[in-house]
Every structure is written in structure tokens, then in C-alpha cells.
Structure 1
Amino acid sequence: MLISSILSILLSNAVTKRRDIAILYNRIAIIILMYCILNDISSLTVVTKGVGLHGGLLLITNITQIFHIFVFIVSALILTLTSFYPRKIWTKEYSSIKDIFLYNFVYYNTKIINKMGEHLKIIEYPLIILFVITGAILLMSTNDLVSIFLAIELQSYGLYILSTIYRNSELSTTGGLIYFLLGGLSSCFILLGTGLLYANSGSTSLDSLYIITSISDLNSIDLWYKPYYINLSLVLFTIGFLFKVSAAPFHFWSPDVYDAIPTIVTTFVAIIAKISILILLLQLVYYTKNNFSGAQGMNWTFILLTSSLFSLIIGTVVGLTQFRIKRLFAYSTISHLGFILLALGISSVESTQAFIFYLIQYSISNLNAFIILIAIGFSLYCYTSENKEHEELSDKTNSPIQLVNQLKGYYYINPVLALSLTITIFSFVGVPPLVGFFGKQMVLSAALDKGLIFLSLVAILTSVIGGIYYLSIIKEMFFDLPEYKINTLFEGKGNIINKNKAIVKNVNFDYKNIAISSPISFVISVITLLILLFIFINKEWLSMGTILVQMLFNN
């Protein structure tokens, strides 16, 4: 379905000159993803212990299918940002359900609904996103070293192009170039690890690797492979992937790239790229977790725990000095990756359940934070800033909110959006009873069960210290007065017309009638309520994690 839709959109791109129908292509992409979700749900009961495809190149299991569905859902939610105009005129007296069906509100002002917004005119955007999703889906399901490399490159090339897709943005081009160069470096590590694994085991199939690691006899001296050599190969292989997910100490590209590329693109780069790689690493860790420890040295998964320690410390300490909001979010992501890698490196039943839960809840919370950030930019249409620094921001069109102090006093402008962002940030901090608290608690519980007391203490301390930079955002929003002034000259005129296109009434409107469009408001509302009310709807979510882990460990 994804490949046929890529081909059809590619062909339709070739024959159209109208860039303003990009909004239609985005909606088609959402419909395609909805169909893919239904397709995966219908085959969930067919796949139980796993199905090998294409001669073992791909392996479909219930875990990969659940995360396929999750990637499709998150991608569809991100596409709502470019599938609908960001603002609408809302008049209370003509907004009842009856009036919506009987009458239309017609007004001429393309600036209000942002018809000429750059993100609504990029016709290739949904096409590249479908390429990236295809790469992510193949990467999660892959079972061969060759197909791993092809899938990661398909995903990465799409992300490089996506980062530079705003042709007129100098910052975006710079960010995309940094991403491309350092992404190429990480691919070299993956290729080197792949080459060494093949040279030592004689096979590119992960099944062969799993068999070798499960039957290793350390006392035998006439093995045709060297156990420590496979360990080293897997360490190099994993370093390449840690580069891709921006885990410390391989994180240095992500704050610059996140900050430079447009916020709508950052939303996709920050979430989708990480999910697919972490699910691949989950399977790799699980199937090789018993290999070569003891006499010959440590298991290769020590690199995950080492990276977890660095990520927790660097993501928290360096984050304290940030005043640009997307750089702050980048360091926040690095810090949360520390928790995810801690759960991944332990590889017990409890830690794997914590890993699946943490990955899902953090992806959803991160998505909400970025969508709210974009919505705040959309909501400031009628306001002018007294701060000269805000007025002179470069690339303001593509990323309206760039500095933390741009949120100063935002609660007085739009209290609902400010509260939504606050709930999401408290979830990042791990304040009970929000969903983020349960994720951290599960990871720490699994770490303590395994005896990793030092790492658990570091995780708790960094989580507390990290609360400082999150609370600085909340302080700016709620306890400072806004620097924004309303444009009092703004007013508009429109007509209410009936189905026969006859004018029923002339309506004047002002800045109070401008609201964020319904699809974006709906996405923010649903995710915020999910974060807030998780304690009441936790059964299905936790049960799914338990079932998936039991299926994995009982295979």
C-alpha cells in the first residue's frame, strides 16, 4: 500500500503545476496511513510467533506490527499540521450544529487562514514522509544485515531531504547539511559493524547470528569465529545507531539540527526516526543477550548502559543553559533517551515492558509538545511584540517560536494552550499522576531489580535537576506579563450565506473571533487528555505491553 501510494503521488507530482494543492496530497497521505492501520490490525491475529518474508529478509512479529500501527498513527497526527489551514474565524452566534450545516461563512482574507503559508505549498512533503515511513517500517521488520542497511538509508535519505525542503530558508539548508554529513558518518559505523559481523560469522542473516550467540561454548578453542570479535562488531554496529538516535556521547548534531530546521519538520525528525531504530535494537538485544559474557569480557550491551549514563547527565546539565526552545527540547530528548537505553540495556521481562511503555508515552508527549509549540506560533497572528529581538528573528516564517522568552505571559493570551503545554511538560518531569511518572517509575524499578543502583541514582538526580529547565518555561508563561500587544486596528467583514448562495447577514469580526482550526485543536485536546487521565485508562495500555513482552520471552 505504501509503495503503490508513493508511485501514484510521484506521478501526480510530475503532471501538476499547482503547488496550492499540497494540502490535498497531505490529506490523501493521511487516508493511506489509515488504510495501513486497518490492514495491520486485521493481520494481528494471523501473526502470532512471527512470520518470515522474502527468504528471511523480513520478520513480522506482533511487536513490530504494534509499532507499525503506532508509527502510522503518529505520522497521521503530524500530517494534520499541513493538511488543514491553521486558523479559522469562529463566531459564537453562527456556530451551532444547525448553522454549520445550513449556512456558510464567507470572508476574503488569505492571511488569516494562512493560505500562503510555506508549509502548505510544499507538494513533495507527503511523498517524502511516505518514503521515510516505508524505511521505518522495513527497519523494524528486518532480519538481515543487508536489509537493515538499505532500510536505515531509505529512512535517513528521506529525513535529509525533509530537513532541507524549505528551499528559501538558509537555516533549514544548514541544518539539513549538518544532518546529512553526520548521518553519513554514522552509516559508516553501521557498515563497518556489518562487514565485521559478516567476516566473522560468514552470514548476513540475523538468524545465523542469534544461533551462534546462543550455542557459543567459551571453553572450546577450535571455533571458526571469535566471540569477543562478534562483541566488538556489535558495539561498532550499535554506535552507528546511537548516532542516528542522538544518544550521548554521539548527540552533538541534534541540538543544531533541531533548532535550524522548521518546527513542523523537527516534529517528524524527533519522533519517527527514533522509534524504528529502538525497536530494531530491542530485537537485537533480546536475541543476543546471553552471549559471550563472563570469561571473555562484558556483553556488547554495556555500550547501551554507558550511553544511557552519558545521555542522562549531558541531556540534563547542558539543557540548563539553553534559552532557545527547540535546543532545550533536543537536550530533553537526549535525557529521556537515557531512560529508554537503560531499560533496553537491562533486557529483562520487566525492563522490556518498561521500554515499550516509555517509548510510546514519550513519543506521544513529545508530539504534543511540538504541536502546541506550532499552534502557539499560529495563535499570535493578531499580536505584535514590543521586544526588538523577537521581531528580528531570522526564519520567523518557518519557526515563529524560537526563544523560551517568546512564551512570556502566554497564559494571558491563550490559557487553554498554556495549560496543555504545562501538562505535557509536567509529564516530561515525571509528576504523578501523569503518564510520564509511570514510565520513569517502571524503568527505575527494573534497574533496581537488576542491581543497577548507581545508574538508578543518576537517573533520579538528573530527573530532578531536569525539572529546573522545564519549570523555567512554565514560569515564563504564568508568572510574567506578556510583551505582546494586540493589533487594535484589526477588523474584518464577512457574509453568512445559505445553501442557495444568498446573503443572510453581514458579519463584522475582530481578533477575538480568530481561533486555531479544529483538527489541530482536536489533536492537542486528545493527547493532553491522554497524558492527564492515563491513571483512569491504564489497563489496556499496560496489558498490551505485558502481552507483547510475554510473547517475545516465550518464543
Structure 2
Amino acid sequence: MAVFSILFLLLSNAVTFRREKSILYSRETIIILLCSCFITSNNLNMSFLDKGLGLYGGLLHVTPITHVFHLFLFLLSAIIFLLTAFYPRKLLPKDSAYTDVLPYSINSVYSPFIFIYDTNLINKMGQQFRIIEYPLIILFTIIGGSFLVSASDIVSIFLCIELQSYGLYLLATIYRNSELSTSAGLTYFLLGGLSSCLILLGTSLLYANSGTTSLDGYYIITGLSSVANEYASTMLDWYKPFYLNISLLIMSVGFLFKISAAPFHFWSPDVYDAIPTIVTTFVAIIPKISILIFLLELVHYTSNFYFVFNFTWTSGLLFSSFLSLIIGAVLGLTQFRIKRLFAYSTISHLGFILLALSINSLESVQAFIFYLMQYSISNLNAFVLLVSIGFSLYPFTNKDKSKIEYNNLPDSNNSPIQLITQLKGYFDLNPVIALSLAITLFSFIGIPPLVGFFAKQMVLSAALDSGYVFLTIVAILTSVIGAVYYLNIIKQMFFDVHEYKVNKKYAGKTLQGSIQCHSKPETIYTSNALNTYKYINVLGKGVLLNYASNKASHIYFKIDNVVLSSCLAIIISILTLMLLLFIFVTNILIRLSSVLAIIMFNP
């Protein structure tokens, strides 16, 4: 993998302009992640047969659950990279006048790529297409997250969580020209440093009280602690559960900070709202998966099975679940900024995830794995849709009465959709994207037969079977309350009148563009405004075409010819169909989560 990555990197530097390097780096990173998926899937049978392997003297361990979520992390990260690996809009011929311009179909493999330099319509791309360090920083974060999933020693745990966190701090501040992004990154760094201190304190207390850094040692001590409650006279004092529980509770507070679970959630709405939407897509999804999978095995092997009425550190997770359910639902009602609302939505769903995590039964582990997978996919689809809506609205401006409110938003180039009211009447502008977002929001609510309904039903069923009646009632009530702010978005999209009109610069006018060739050097025909044909000399891949008379080559098009990129359309289609048609393919995720839960409880 390292050799191939270096070769791809050198090749990109040799054949591209600087403005294209970031795009090609993202494409190379997608190839790297897909190769990692291939390697992981090849080794999956080994982990299932051996039921777990220790690596590097016990610093890391490989189990079926860690392998499956490595594969899941790599796939989600590859999808996120598609947002920066292709241009957001393309030019599509819709009339005969335009098709006369090009000798090939625009979707043909050999057709030139159309890119408009002389307008702000497509060239308004955001800084993500000019930051060449972006893929590298995300790769560091993915490496830290994948190692954290497999961490089996408190030393490797701290190193992995810091490797992941440092990448996220840099990612939040990578937009150098954005004041909001810089301030949000600084907030994230300071509070992340505080949570790292708590994790370090908890691990230090674990080592001071036990003399070992291996998680396997703590699992043994947990079993001895249960026996110590019955035979206190035969055990040493430090084998009592109190010391171990307090240490693990302090460490878990640090991890709850990292995933922004209540009551340690206060940083996430501000950070999510201030950093660019493409960065928020990664920050809101990938780090939470790695931390929650690490906590799954920690909870499973350190829970006190013999004395359920005594204090255990997992009681703190239950309390956090209770607060997350309430805070995520109630405070989300007051939000008018879309990414802050998504932040509180994430906090509410973390309440369900932590509830399943704390119960630690066979059914709850299955519900936890299934809920985490489906919510990650739903959340990714929601953010991709938000990015796509922003790109689709570039040719439009708001009517005069709302011009100040919408068009003077800070950092609007990097986060074009910031207010919920910007989605008013969007169904009239783009029905397909509006329907996709509605399906995603209905899945968040838990409307059958979407996948979100089955996930919530599994968690609530596991909670009831384990006797958590009060938390089940709270979860149901908060789900109903949280449905209000989701339905408000749907109501504004479908039933309100939109306040958009086509920008005067584009309305009824013929726009001008330049042709860029991404095929082999050859000679093709095009036409100028007078429809007289001239030869074009293609200088090579990635080089602008010129007329034989050394004049700039141009094409002319209408605003209707600009559509959303095929890459974004395919991502949205696949993810939305996964949510919508889950009832027809229920066996895949449900059986996978069932097998993983059974393997965990029957090693």
C-alpha cells in the first residue's frame, strides 16, 4: 500500500497543474481505501475462524467485530472523499444547438470535459479543491480510528485517540481564509485537549491501581472483583470494584467528550456549524464509529455480571444516554441553523446508541451494531444532500425581501446552506433531491418501513427485555418530540413557497465556457457563436484547447444545461435506496449484527 501510494503521488505531481492536485490526491486516496477494503475482506475469514488474534505483543487485537468495522470505516471514508474527488457540477446538452458544438456525446468516454472558467457558476468551488493536504490529514485520522477499534492496551488506546484527534483539529482549521473555521477549530482543540486529559487521568489510575496496561488484565481483575464482593477477606483491597470503576468512569467521560454525548455536548453544535459542510461530514461520522466500537468491547468485558445493583462505570453511560435523549430532542426544537440541528439530532441518536451499549445483552449488542451502521449511513446521506443542495442553488438568488438574510451569510462559499429557511420550497426547484432528503429525515424519525424504524425498535426491545422501562418510555417520548423539527424541515421544503429566482447574470442569457480535454491528444471540431466550424488543436491531457488562430476556444450554453455532478447523484441514489428498500434486503445487516453479537458472547 505504501509503495503504490508513493507511485500515485509522484505521478500526480508530474502530470497535473497545482489546481488539480487536490482532486487527484482525493481520487488516489479512494483507491487506497478500496485496496484496504480488499485486504480487510480477504482476512475476514481468518478472524472469524480464530475468533480473535493479538498483534504486536497485545497492543492491538483483531476480532470479527473490529474487522467488519474496519471495512465499514474504509467504505464510508471512500464515499466522503468522492465529495472532493470530482467537480460538483457538469454541463449536460439538452438542446440541438448545444449538441452541434461537440462531435461526441457529453457522457462518452472520449468526450472532452466541459469546464466554465469565465463565469462564477461552476468555478465557485470552495477551498476543498485547492487544499492539497486535505486527503493526507483525513488518512491520518482514519489510521488513528482504525487502530483505536483494535486497541488492546491503554498505551495504544491513548496514542490512537490522539492520532485521530490531531487530524480532526487540523481538519477543522484547514480552511485558512475562513475566520469561523479557525475559531471553531481552536474551540475543538481546547476542549479536545481537556477530554484527552481525562482519558490520560483514567488510564493512569488504571495502571497505578493494577500495575498492568493490558485490557486483558483489567478483564481478569473485573472477574476477580466480582468474587471479592463475596469473599472480601480472601482478596486484596485493590481488587474491589470501586477503584476499577472510578478509573473507567473518568476515562469514559473523556470518550463521551470526544463523541459529544450529553452532558459533554456543548462544543459540537458550535463546531459543526462553523466548519465547512464538507469537513463536518467527516467530523460528524467517522470518529464516533471508532470510539463507540472500542467502548463496546470495554463495556462487554468489564461489566459486573454478579452484582447488578452495585455501582458500575456503565451507570455513567446510562446517565449520559438519558441526558442525550432529552437534550438532543428538546434543544433541537429551538434551532434555526441546519447544521446545529443535525448536531442535536446526532446527540439524540447517541442516546439510543449508548442505551444499547450500556445494557450489554446479546440482543442489545446486536441492536447497537445495527443502529450504529444504519445511522452512519443515514447521517452521511443527510450531509451529502446538504452539500448537493448548496451546489444546486449557486445560480439562484433570493428575492429582495430576504436578500440581506440569506446572501450575506458568513462563510457562505464553503457552507452555502446554513439556515433551515433556505430550504423553503426546494421541492419546486429539485424534486428528486428534496424527496431523498425527506426519506433520510423520515428514517431519522423512525417511520416504517425505513431502516431507522427497525433500528429504534431493536434498541427499545432490548431495553424492555432488560428491565429498563423508564428509559424506554423516555426514548419513545423524545423520539416523538424530535420528530417535530424533522417534520418542520419537510414542511418547509414541500409546502412553503420558495424565495429563489435565477440570478440576473444568468437568466435568459447565453453563457460562455472553455473546453478542457481529458482524453488522448487529437483534433476535434467545435463551433463559435456564428456556428462556423474551425479546427481545434488539442495540446494534451489537462491542457486548454486553442483555435488554430490562437484564440480561446469557447462554447455557449444556457443555465439549464448545468446539472449536478454524476458522482453526487450516484452517491445520493445508492444511500437513499439503502434506506428506502431495506425491508426487501433485511437479512444482510440484521444477520451480520446477529453473528457478530453471538461471536462476542460465545468466544
- 2:284 counterpart SS class: helix
Q: Give distance in 2, aligned partners of 1:371 and 1:98.
A: 25
Q: Given residue 301 of structure 2, which amino acid in structure 1 is its aligned partner?
A: Y
| Equivalences for residues 225-264 of structure 1 within 5 A | 225=238, 226-264=240-278
Q: Given residue 68 of structure 1, which amino acid in structure 2 is its aligned partner?
A: H
8 Å CA contact 1:232, 1:300 repeated in 2? yes
Q: Give distance in 2, aligned partners of 1:63 and 1:257.
A: 31
Q: Give distance in 1, aligned partners of 2:591 and 2:445.
A: 24
Matching residue of 1:170:
179
Matching residue of 1:435:
451
Matching residue of 2:552:
none
Q: Give distance in 1, aligned partners of 2:260 and 2:346.
A: 9
| Distance change (3 Å), C-alpha of 1:2 and 1:71 | farther
Q: Give distance in 1, aligned partners of 2:558 and 2:392.
A: 14
Shift of 1:108: 4.0
- 2:501 counterpart SS class: strand
Shift of 1:491: 2.5
Shift of 1:299: 1.8
Matching residue of 1:113:
122
Q: Give distance in 1, aligned partners of 2:111 and 2:11.
A: 38
| Distance change (3 Å), C-alpha of 1:83 and 1:101 | closer
| Distance change (3 Å), C-alpha of 1:234 and 1:86 | same
8 Å CA contact 1:6, 1:131 repeated in 2? no
Matching residue of 2:389:
376
Cα offsets for 1:293-327 (capped at 9, x unmatched) = 357x3221111111000000000000000000000
Q: Given residue 262 of structure 1, which amino acid in structure 2 is its aligned partner?
A: P
8 Å CA contact 1:189, 1:240 repeated in 2? yes
Matching residue of 1:57:
59
Matched, 1:276 2:298: no
Shift of 1:413: 0.7
| Distance change (3 Å), C-alpha of 1:11 and 1:299 | farther
Q: Give distance in 2, aligned partners of 1:468 and 1:342.
A: 22
Q: Given residue 104 of structure 1, which amino acid in structure 2 is its aligned partner?
A: P
- 2:492 counterpart SS class: helix
8 Å CA contact 2:12, 2:24 repeated in 1? no
8 Å CA contact 1:107, 1:493 repeated in 2? no
Cα offsets for 1:354-411 (capped at 9, x unmatched) = 0000000000000000000000000012111121210110100110000000111111
Matching residue of 2:41:
41
Matching residue of 2:31:
31
Shift of 1:25: 0.4
Shift of 1:2: 6.7
TM-score, normalisation: structure 1: 0.95
More displaced, 502-511 or 545-554?
Answer: 502-511
Shift of 1:513: 1.3
8 Å CA contact 1:26, 1:79 repeated in 2? yes
Shift of 1:509: 2.3
8 Å CA contact 1:495, 1:504 repeated in 2? no
8 Å CA contact 1:249, 1:307 repeated in 2? yes
Matched, 1:220 2:239: no
Matching residue of 1:414:
430
Of the three residues 300, 303, 320, the one matched with 1:286 is 300
Cα offsets for 1:48-100 (capped at 9, x unmatched) = 31010000000011100100010001101110010000000111465997961
| Distance change (3 Å), C-alpha of 1:14 and 1:144 | farther
| Equivalences for residues 319-468 of structure 1 within 5 A | 319-386=332-399, 387=402, 388-468=404-484
- 2:152 counterpart SS class: coil
Matched, 1:479 2:491: no
Matched, 1:104 2:104: no
Shift of 1:212: 1.0
What are structure 2's unaligned runs of at least 5 residues?
Answer: 532-554
Paired residues in the alignment total 554
Matching residue of 2:191:
182
| Distance change (3 Å), C-alpha of 1:183 and 1:484 | same
Shift of 1:3: 10
| Distance change (3 Å), C-alpha of 1:6 and 1:531 | farther
- 2:570 counterpart SS class: helix
| Equivalences for residues 304-323 of structure 1 within 5 A | 304-323=317-336
8 Å CA contact 1:495, 1:503 repeated in 2? no
More displaced, 435-444 or 109-118?
Answer: 109-118
8 Å CA contact 2:121, 2:395 repeated in 1? no
8 Å CA contact 2:117, 2:514 repeated in 1? no
More displaced, 189-198 or 221-230?
Answer: 221-230
Q: Give distance in 2, aligned partners of 1:165 and 1:230.
A: 40
Of the three residues 523, 526, 544, the one matched with 1:501 is 523
Matching residue of 1:82:
84
Matching residue of 2:594:
546
8 Å CA contact 1:2, 1:130 repeated in 2? no
| Distance change (3 Å), C-alpha of 1:502 and 1:66 | same
8 Å CA contact 1:87, 1:114 repeated in 2? no
Q: Give distance in 2, aligned partners of 1:495 and 1:108.
A: 6
Q: Give distance in 1, aligned partners of 2:201 and 2:154.
A: 11
| Distance change (3 Å), C-alpha of 1:2 and 1:159 | farther
8 Å CA contact 2:248, 2:313 repeated in 1? yes
Q: Give distance in 2, aligned partners of 1:214 and 1:13.
A: 56
Q: Give distance in 2, aligned partners of 1:108 and 1:470.
A: 37
- 2:45 counterpart SS class: coil
Cα RMSD (Å) = 2.5
Which structure has the larger Rg? 2
What are structure 1's unaligned runs of at least 5 residues?
Answer: none
8 Å CA contact 2:508, 2:558 repeated in 1? no
- 1:55 counterpart SS class: helix
Q: Given residue 282 of structure 2, which amino acid in structure 1 is its aligned partner?
A: F
Q: Give distance in 1, aligned partners of 2:243 and 2:15.
A: 53
Shift of 1:117: 3.0
TM-score, normalisation: structure 2: 0.87
- 2:46 counterpart SS class: coil
8 Å CA contact 2:8, 2:28 repeated in 1? no
8 Å CA contact 1:145, 1:194 repeated in 2? yes
Q: Given residue 172 of structure 1, which amino acid in structure 2 is its aligned partner?
A: S
Shift of 1:113: 3.2
Shift of 1:492: 2.3
Of the three residues 256, 259, 279, the one matched with 1:265 is 279
8 Å CA contact 1:105, 1:494 repeated in 2? no
Q: Give distance in 1, aligned partners of 2:132 and 2:351.
A: 37
Q: Given residue 402 of structure 1, which amino acid in structure 2 is its aligned partner?
A: Q
